[in-house]
């Protein structure tokens, strides 16, 4: 009973379970921890081992590593300018971690690190924390001009400032929830359609005949989820760039 | 859904899981944050210290190689063009020299030909004159012989007719008179 219900339960894939002990403590090594390690190792494999030959004419792995580098570098330069390249390692690590989490999570029986709100919120808090700390360090009180757009009539100013503050505060929420919700919803959808196949195969003759339909849907959805996985990683990275740009150039 | 879900989680993990939606289960938040900090921190260090400088170096190296090769090729091309120009100069020089030489040779040859012709004509004229002299002498000699024969014939005729030998002087004067007539 338990096994089949587990198989049909679309939420089961998000459960964090300790792998070494019975109870979860702060230091427990869980399936989530395992996949964080896997993701980090995969990125490290691509970026460190893939570039170890330092070939002028790159191999496949090195070409992929260079492509990732140039893609993120051009995104960072495009949104923040040359000055923003100081945040490049941070944005790059973030992008690679998120995209590898999303992609590895699409493999059946794996765990999607970014489907946990605590992970995505930790990233968002890290980004906003970096924005505030760097903005204050760099510009001091001038950083508060971020909330006071220039050229606004004095009558509207309190209102505008309020809106700006709300928009700033909602950034970490929207940044984290967007990624989390996309991953969660996509994986639930895939699992629900998978459960359809299993249930229809166990049903009547008509259901058995029709059971390939949800299977086809899974194939199409998987392609769509690949797009979402890459797109959400990109959105996360580019929004990080946009927010960090505020720290570099407040009041624009 | 809720009962199914709780059955699933309880069957799997037991007391560790509560009934809440797993991503909002706060029990594992601290563990996730600790491991996220560890793994992402390590990843950030690896990327910023090793991977990204290395890729940047590779890209720079490639850029330098490409621009170096391009510069080299431009230099080589310039060298080749210079060589072409030098070669053409050399060729033009050689052609001019050859032309001058040919002209000089032609003039010299023409002069020599004129000289040869002149000397040849001169020698021809001389031998012509000598031949003329020789012909005249031969002619005179032949004429002299004819006169002698005529005198002998005249003396013989006169002796036959008259029975006596005429003197040589009268025969000679008669032949000379016949010449003038």
**Does residue B8 form part of some domain?**
no
Confidence bin at A225 (pLDDT 50/70/90): very high
Inter-chain CB proximity B35 and A37 less than 8 Å: yes
Residue B19 DSSP one-character state: S
Inter-CA distances, B128 with A142, B122, B125, B135, B157, Å: 128, 10, 5, 10, 42
Nearest-CA distance A140 → chain B (Å)? 27
Inter-chain CB proximity A66 and B52 less than 8 Å: no
Identify the pLDDT of residue B174. Answer: 79
**Does residue B79 form part of some domain?**
yes
**Does residue B3 form part of some domain?**
no
Confidence bin at B1 (pLDDT 50/70/90): very low
Contacts of A211 (CB under 8 A, 6+ apart): A196, A197, A200, A201
Domain count, chain B: 1
Pairs of residues, one from chain A and one from chain B, whose beta carbons lie less than 8 Å apart:
161
Residue A130 at interface with chain B, using a CB cutoff of 8 Å: no
Identify the pLDDT of residue A12. Answer: 82
Residue burial A144-174, b: 16+ Cβ < 10 Å; e: rest: eebbeeeeeeeeeeeeeeeeeeeebeebbee
**Please, what is the angle between helix A117-139 and helix B29-46, to 10°?**
50
Residue A106 DSSP one-character state: T
Contacts of A188 in chain B (CB under 8 A): none
Residue A69 at interface with chain B, using a CB cutoff of 8 Å: yes
Inter-chain CB proximity B22 and A14 less than 8 Å: yes
Nearest-CA distance A147 → chain B (Å)? 31
| Mean per-residue pLDDT, A128-145 | 90
| Residue in B with minimal Cα distance to A116 | B23
**Does residue B5 form part of some domain?**
no
Nearest to B31 among A15, A30, A184 (CB): A30
Please tell me which residue, A90 or B16, carries the higher pLDDT value.
Answer: A90
**Does residue B109 form part of some domain?**
yes
| Mean per-residue pLDDT, A96-104 | 96
| Mean per-residue pLDDT, B96-121 | 95
**Does residue B11 register a pLDDT over 60?**
no
Identify the pLDDT of residue A5. Answer: 55
In this predicted model, what pLDDT tens digit does every residue of A17-53 receive, in sequence order? 888 777 777 778 899 999 999 999 999 999 999 999 8
Nearest-CA distance A167 → chain B (Å)? 24
**Does residue B7 form part of some domain?**
no
Q: What's the rounded Cα separation, in Å, for the pair B151 and B171?
A: 6
| Mean per-residue pLDDT, B24-35 | 88
Identify the pLDDT of residue B49. Answer: 94
Q: Which range among A13-27, A178-192, A200-214, A233-247 shows the weakest confidence by mean pLDDT?
A: A13-27
Inter-CA distances, A38 with A42, A230, B35, Å: 6, 18, 12
Residue with tokens 């014939």: B153
Q: What's the rounded Cα separation, in Å, for the pair B63 and B103?
A: 59
Give A135-139 contacts, CB < 8 A, sequence gap 24+: A135/A246, A135/A247, A135/A250, A138/A247, A138/A248, A139/A250
**Does residue B91 register a pLDDT over 60?**
yes
Domain housing B142: 30-175
Residue burial A227-239, b: 16+ Cβ < 10 Å; e: rest: ebbeebbbbbbbb
**Please, what is the angle between helix B168-180 and helix B52-162, to 10°?**
130
In this predicted model, what pLDDT tens digit does every residue of A201-210 receive, in sequence order? 888 888 888 8
Q: What's the rounded Cα separation, in Å, for the pair A145 and A100?
A: 37
Q: What's the rounded Cα separation, in Å, for the pair A236 and A172?
A: 11
**Does residue B20 form part of some domain?**
no
| Mean per-residue pLDDT, B124-147 | 92
The domain spans of chain A are 2-248
Residue B127 DSSP one-character state: H
**Does residue B117 form part of some domain?**
yes
């Amino acid at each position: 009973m338990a096994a089949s219900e587990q198989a049909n339960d679309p939420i089961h894939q998000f459960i964090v379970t300790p792998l070494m002990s019975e109870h979860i403590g702060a230091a427990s090594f869980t399936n989530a921890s395992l996949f964080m390690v896997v993701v980090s190792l995969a990125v490290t494999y691509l970026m460190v081992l893939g570039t170890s030959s330092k070939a002028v004419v790159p191999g496949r792995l090195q070409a992929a590593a260079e492509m990732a580098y140039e893609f993120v570098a051009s995104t960072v330069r495009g949104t923040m300018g040359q000055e923003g390249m100081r945040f490049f390692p941070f944005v790059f690590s973030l992008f690679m971690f998120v995209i590898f989490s999303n992609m590895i999570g699409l493999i059946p029986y794996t765990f999607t690190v970014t489907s946990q709100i605590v992970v995505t919120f930790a990233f968002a808090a890290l980004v906003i924390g970096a924005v505030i700390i760097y903005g204050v360090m760099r510009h001091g009180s001038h950083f508060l001009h971020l909330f006071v757009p220039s050229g606004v009539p004095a009558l509207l100013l309190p209102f505008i400032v309020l809106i700006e503050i709300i928009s700033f505060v909602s950034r970490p929420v929207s940044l984290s929830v967007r990624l989390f919700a996309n991953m969660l919803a996509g994986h639930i959808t895939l699992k629900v359609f998978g459960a359809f196949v299993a249930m229809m195969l166990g049903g009547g003759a008509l259901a058995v005949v029709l059971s390939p339909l949800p299977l086809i849907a899974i194939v199409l959805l998987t392609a769509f989820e690949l797009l979402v996985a890459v797109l959400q990683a990109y959105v996360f990275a580019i929004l990080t760039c946009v927010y960090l740009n505020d720290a570099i150039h407040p009041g624009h | 859904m809720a009962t199914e879900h709780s059955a699933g989680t309880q069957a799997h993990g037991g007391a560790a899981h509560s009934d809440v939606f797993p991503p909002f289960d706060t029990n594992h938040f601290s563990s996730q944050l600790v491991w996220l900090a560890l793994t992402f921190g390590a990843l950030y260090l690896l990327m910023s210290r090793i991977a990204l400088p290395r890729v940047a170096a590779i890209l720079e190296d490639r850029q330098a190689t490409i621009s170096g090769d391009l510069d080299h090729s431009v230099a080589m091309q310039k060298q080749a063009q210079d060589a072409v120009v030098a070669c053409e100069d050399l060729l033009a020089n050689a052609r001019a020299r050859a032309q001058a030489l040919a002209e000089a040779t032609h003039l010299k040859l023409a002069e020599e030909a004129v000289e040869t012709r002149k000397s040849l004509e001169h020698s021809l004229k001389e031998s012509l004159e000598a031949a003329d002299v020789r012909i005249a002498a031969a002619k005179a000699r032949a004429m002299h012989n004819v006169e002698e024969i005529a005198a002998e014939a005249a003396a013989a005729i006169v002796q036959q007719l008259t029975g006596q030998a005429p003197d040589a002087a009268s025969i000679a004067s008669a032949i000379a008179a016949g010449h003038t007539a």
